[in-house]
Amino acid sequence: MAFAHTLGGTRYVFDDLRALMARATPFRSGDALAGVAAASAAERVAAQYALADLPLRHFLHEAVLPYEADDVTRLILDSHDTAAFAPVAHLTVGGFRDWLLAEADTAALTALAPGLTPEMVAAVSKIMRISDLVQVSQKCRVITRFRNTIGLPGRLSIRLQPNHPTDDARGVAASVLDGLMMGAGDAVIGVNPATDNIETVQRLLSMLDEVRARFDIPTQCCVLSHVTTTLLAMERGSPVDLVFQSIGGTQGVNESFGVSLALLAEAHDAARAQKRGENVMYFETGQGSALSADAHHGVDQQTIEARAYAVARQYAPLLVNTVVGFIGPEYLFDGKQILRAGMEDHFCGKLLGLPMGVDVCYTNHAEADQDDMDTLLTCLGVAGVTYIMGIPGADDVMLAYQSTSFHDGLYARAALGKRPAPEFEAWMERVGIGATEAIPAALSPALIGLS
């Protein structure tokens, strides 16, 4: 179905929903690279007008990717909850924005989540400003549990990311201890291994589990290997708390990651069978991955990103985060584009009912620096982001990019009056973290092989 809007005497026509969504998207380099961005600023606003007039019901009748050709589309439409959708079923996209800002409260948004499709959420975000995204995100509440409780009001959790270029056990342990000393680690202690080698992954899993047990930390651990590697590690008896996987919003991008919906379901069942905790999945996403895998099919990168959240929510994850600035300047060119994308991703994930965190990050070939990250972190903190990353000095020495430091986590909590997950906070107090600059006796480095 074609859409049109006349602006300043020019009539702009958009061939289908896919084109309308793409042209309405605030500018970013990835959409230009894909050739789907609006040709002018005026065309973009015309598309936003046309999108605002579109009834939300329309998204149940026109898919951006054909039902027959894409299993993510099938998942979205087959799992749509009509009863939950009812309170907003009469609204247009523009009316939905007004409702979100003026009327919706936490209870209404929680009940609505299964009635929303990713495309509805992406569409409304395209006509919202940063302050709109912040205000609505603040009203969302998503609570998940493993060894502690994540997402309670007034809390901000941190994934401790102790990566090491050669997966050296003592190198990883040193970063873990440094992070714990600064209050990081309540979301997860999660290592990206330098290789997907199964023996290395098993060694890291055992080592992290041992550190957690020795220090008696109420948190969960994860080695972020490919889902098939983690499945094998579970089969071989390794202690697996969370199963990690990168996912995307089209069947093609998931195939490029070497995963299918059936494989994710299998991994979810296997992790639940370990009986170690309630929410057992950890997913990462990020705008641009589908274009990078040549699996975008002319859909704009933000809409595809929101579709990845429909995949994620199928498996009741403990944690989901967009790795917003990692992908590079051909998808998000500078600090402004990374800021916008990070706020959109957080908003869309939360509205769809996910425990949404953000890796506030950039690479050295993007036009961005620490000031841009401070701005995004502060905006996300006000918006109520579930968790952020914590990395020694913001410098990931294995992945060669910059994310938020342990210090940034302290800053965000202090500036915004946020606290760690309650179980973790009580543990910090018990072992004496923050009381003095010195490492407390309960966290003696010798206990974890550092002497």
- Would strands 188-191 and 157-160 be described as parallel, antiparallel, or unpaired? parallel
**Is 204 annotated for ligand binding?**
no
Cβ proximity to another protein: between 184 and 242 the closer is 184
Q: Which of residues 170-209 bind another protein (CB under 8 A)?
A: 170-175, 177-178, 181-182
Cβ proximity to another protein: between 154 and 434 the closer is 434
Q: From 228, 211, 229, select the one nearest 220 (Cα to Cα).
A: 211
Contact pick of 57, 203, 407, 419 for another protein (by CB under 8 A): 407
411 touching another protein, by CB under 8 A: yes
Phi, psi torsion values for 336, nearest 5 degrees: -65, -45
Contact pick of 83, 197, 364, 429 for another protein (by CB under 8 A): 364
Task: Enter the tokens of residue 96.
Answer: 């939905």
Size of the site for another protein (CB under 8 A): 48
Phi, psi torsion values for 178, nearest 5 degrees: -60, -45
Task: Enter the tokens of residue 34.
Answer: 């894909």
Instruction: For the beta carbon of residue 434, count every other beta carbon within 10 angstroms.
Output: 13
**Is 192 annotated for ligand binding?**
yes
> What single-letter amino acid sits at 332?
L
Contact flags string 377-396 toward another protein, x per CB under 8 A: --------------xxxxx-
As a whole number of angstroms, the distance between CA 106 and CA 129 comes to 20
Q: From 317, 365, 373, 325, select the one nearest 345 (Cα to Cα).
A: 325
> What single-letter amino acid sits at 300?
D
As a whole number of angstroms, the distance between CA 66 and CA 60 comes to 12
Nearest approach in angstroms of CB 212 to another protein is: 18
**Is 359 annotated for ligand binding?**
yes
Q: From 216, 176, 153, select the one nearest 419 (Cα to Cα).
A: 153
298 touching another protein, by CB under 8 A: no
Q: Which of residues 100-119 bind another protein (CB under 8 A)?
A: none
Contact pick of 3, 244, 347, 401 for another protein (by CB under 8 A): 401
Specify binding-site residues for adenosylcob(III)alamin. Answer: 193, 245, 292, 398
- Catalog residues that contact another protein under the rule CB under 8 A: 29, 32-33, 162-166, 168, 170-175, 177-178, 181-182, 328-330, 333, 363-365, 369-370, 391-395, 397, 400-402, 405, 407, 410-411, 414, 437-439, 444-445, 450
